[in-house]
């Protein structure tokens, strides 16, 4: 027997051993999970190298740019934010002078104004921002010399500025970089979206398929499931994108292959005695405008009947496929809908319809409803009567993303867990309705130069408080370029210590941690 076959046999025996020592359903009490973030839904900050090979990689979908005429030294402006004329008449750039890129190829782009209309050429060659759906007349070739641009229509004519501050498309010859009327200086204002849309559309279908296939194969493996099972973890929360229901040939520009990997995750979970929560992380149209919801340009277009129905179809697909799988614990209907862009009544209606779909395939799978992010009270979901059995509300707690946390020291951050978070968790536990799930949290904060001991105290405080949640918690995320977000790095380097005693005696450990926080406040 050769070495590879021996290794397979040894691994198989280890799997059998693991199965015999895994947590059974009988002792599965609360969820202690880790998110598999950045795997089947791309987030560029989790693995920035995914985007390294994209040409013109600073001009991906959603990049916000401002264009300044070299000749007039004034900015291109869509008056009122779009819907009418475009002039080159502003000395200072703000929202009307900012355009979002839609990428057609590495050299072809469309420019979307603040109100959503695209730059277009009219019959008299004057450029306006009046088209809602872009086509050939809204597509421009970009010739680039660092920050300088020539902008050409598909008919071969270039944009230029006139003395009366108009933007026209009647510059007929090939301009040089000294031809100021046809040269523009581009300022990149924001370039933060690095999601599935940007990756797939940036590389193009062939290269994107290659990049994502390798990423999905290597970023999360069977070894991770083994490590998780050995570190007192009993479940994984797996973010997926809506295009998974159309595998292997999802709508452009998305790339197939995520469904095979989700199947593989369920297989690994069964081997190591873990449960799976499927989380619809990226819904059609984007429910929050962020890269992890696969937004093209930061817009939130999910709250339409077409996109909601498409989302329900995805839930139907997932529930039907996995309802009878022994590793399925629950299905989360939508991740982090935006409070500012998703009305509560629309969300509640969607959640009720999604609940019924899951129940049509399973009476036992948990149906999980994520709280809206932004200015929203989680109690609003407890008052909505979303479903009678096995329901869960998911809250995400981060000591980040809010100016409130920027100036807190270590002791103050820990105090937030006990004084702010614990009472809310306990109040929701006591509410008449769904179970409480802290579906995302992380052992990271804005404290500069924090010591390992301080991180350990912060992690312990969160474990204790979130351990009070009636359904449990899930850490974000299994692996990350930013190490303090990386569960495995935290575990290996003992910045986060997870053990059965920590979770088994929460009230006792809260008392102990409280004493440690007090001592820390004296010493710091």
Tokens linked to 415: 């105090």
Is 336 known to be catalytic?
yes
Tokens linked to 420: 């702010």
CB 310 within 8 A of CB 334: no
Please list, in sequence order, all residues whose beta carbon lies within 8 angstroms of the beta carbon of residue 116, skipping any fewer than 6 positions away. 82, 132, 299
Q: Is 161 helix (H, G, I), strand (E, B) or coil?
A: strand
Interatomic CA distance for residues 275 and 28, integer angstroms: 10
Output the CA angle 317-235-255, nearest 5 degrees: 40
Please list, in sequence order, all residues whose beta carbon lies within 8 angstroms of the beta carbon of residue 124, skipping any fewer than 6 positions away. none
The full length of the chain comes to 524
Could you identify the residue written with the tokens 């359904």?
471
Within 13 A of 345's CA, how many CA atoms are on the CB side? 0
Please list, in sequence order, all residues whose beta carbon lies within 8 angstroms of the beta carbon of residue 9, skipping any fewer than 6 positions away. 1
Residue 316: how many other CB atoms lie within 10 Å: 16
CB 172 within 8 A of CB 157: yes
Q: DSSP letters of 282-321?
A: E-TT-SSSSGGGT-SSS-----SHHHHHHHHHHHHHHHHH
Per residue, what are the HEC states of 439-493? EECCCCCCCCCCCHHHHHHHHHHHHHHHCCCCCEEEECCCCCCCHHHCHHHHHHC
Cα distances from 176 to residues 41, 55, 170, 508, in angstroms, run 43, 23, 15, 74
Q: DSSP letters of 322-340?
A: HTT-TTEEEEES-S--BTT
Tokens linked to 421: 């978070």
Alpha carbon 409 to chain centroid distance? 28
Residue 48: how many other CB atoms lie within 10 Å: 12
Give the DSSP H/E element, type plus range, for residue 277.
strand 275-282
Interatomic CA distance for residues 348 and 350, integer angstroms: 5
Give the closest residue to 42 by CA, choosing from 214, 189, 190, 188.
214
Could you identify the residue written with the tokens 């009544």?
345
The interaxial angle of helices 196-203 and 205-219, nearest 10 deg, is: 130
Is 380 known to be catalytic?
no
Catalytic residue among 43, 138, 291, 336: 336
Catalytic residue among 440, 444, 464, 468: 440
Active-site positions read 336, 440
């Amino acid at each position: 027997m050769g070495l590879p076959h021996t290794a397979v046999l040894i691994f198989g025996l280890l799997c059998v051993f693991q199965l015999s020592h895994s947590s059974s359903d009988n002792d599965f009490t609360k969820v202690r999970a880790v998110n598999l973030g950045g795997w089947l839904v791309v987030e560029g900050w989790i693995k920035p190298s995914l985007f390294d090979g994209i040409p013109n990689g600073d001009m991906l979908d959603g990049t916000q740019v401002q264009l300044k005429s070299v000749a007039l030294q004034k900015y291109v402006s869509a008056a009122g934010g779009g819907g009418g004329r475009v002039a080159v008449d502003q000395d200072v750039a703000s929202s009307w002078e900012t355009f979002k890129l839609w990428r057609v190829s590495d050299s072809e782009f469309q420019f979307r104004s603040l109100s959503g209309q695209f730059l277009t050429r009219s019959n008299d060659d004057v450029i306006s921002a009046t088209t809602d759906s872009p086509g050939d007349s809204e597509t421009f070739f970009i010739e680039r010399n660092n920050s300088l641009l020539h902008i050409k229509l598909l008919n071969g004519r270039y944009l230029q500025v006139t003395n009366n501050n108009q933007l026209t498309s009647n510059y007929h010859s090939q301009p040089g970089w000294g031809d100021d009327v046809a040269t523009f200086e581009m300022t990149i204002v924001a370039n933060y979206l690095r999601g599935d849309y940007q990756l797939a559309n940036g590389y193009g279908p062939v290269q994107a398929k290659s990049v994502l296939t390798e990423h999905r194969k290597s970023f999360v493996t069977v070894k991770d499931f083994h490590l998780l099972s050995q570190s007192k973890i009993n479940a994984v929360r797996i973010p997926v994108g809506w295009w998974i229901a159309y595998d292997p040939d999802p709508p452009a520009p998305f790339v197939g292959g995520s469904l095979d990997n989700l199947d593989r995750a369920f297989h690994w979970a069964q081997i190591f005695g873990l449960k799976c929560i499927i989380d619809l992380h990226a819904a059609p149209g984007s429910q929050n405008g962020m890269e992890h919801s696969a937004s093209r340009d930061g817009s939130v277009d999910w709250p339409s009947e077409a996109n909601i129905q498409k989302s329900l179809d995805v839930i139907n697909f997932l529930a039907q496929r996995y309802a009878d799988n022994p590793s399925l614990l629950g299905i989360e209907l939508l991740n982090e809908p935006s409070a500012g862009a998703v009305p509560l009544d629309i969300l509640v209606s969607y959640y009720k319809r999604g609940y019924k779909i899951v129940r049509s395939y399973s009476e036992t799978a948990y149906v999980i409803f994520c709280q809206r992010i932004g200015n929203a009270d989680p109690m609003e979901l407890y008052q909505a009567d979303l479903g009678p059995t096995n329901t869960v509300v998911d809250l995400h707690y981060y000591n980040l993303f809010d100016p409130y946390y920027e100036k807190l020291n270590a002791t103050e951050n820990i105090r937030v867990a006990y004084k702010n978070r614990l009472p809310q968790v306990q109040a929701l536990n006591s509410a008449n309705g769904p179970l409480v799930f802290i579906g995302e949290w992380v052992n990271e904060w804005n404290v500069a130069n924090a010591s390992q001991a301080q991180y350990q105290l912060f992690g312990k405080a969160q474990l204790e408080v979130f351990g009070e949640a009636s359904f449990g918690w899930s850490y974000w995320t299994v692996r990350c370029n930013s190490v303090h977000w990386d569960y495995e790095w935290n575990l290996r380097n003992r910045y986060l210590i997870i053990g059965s005693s920590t979770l088994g005696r929460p009230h006792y450990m809260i008392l102990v941690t409280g004493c440690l926080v007090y001592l820390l406040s004296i010493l710091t």
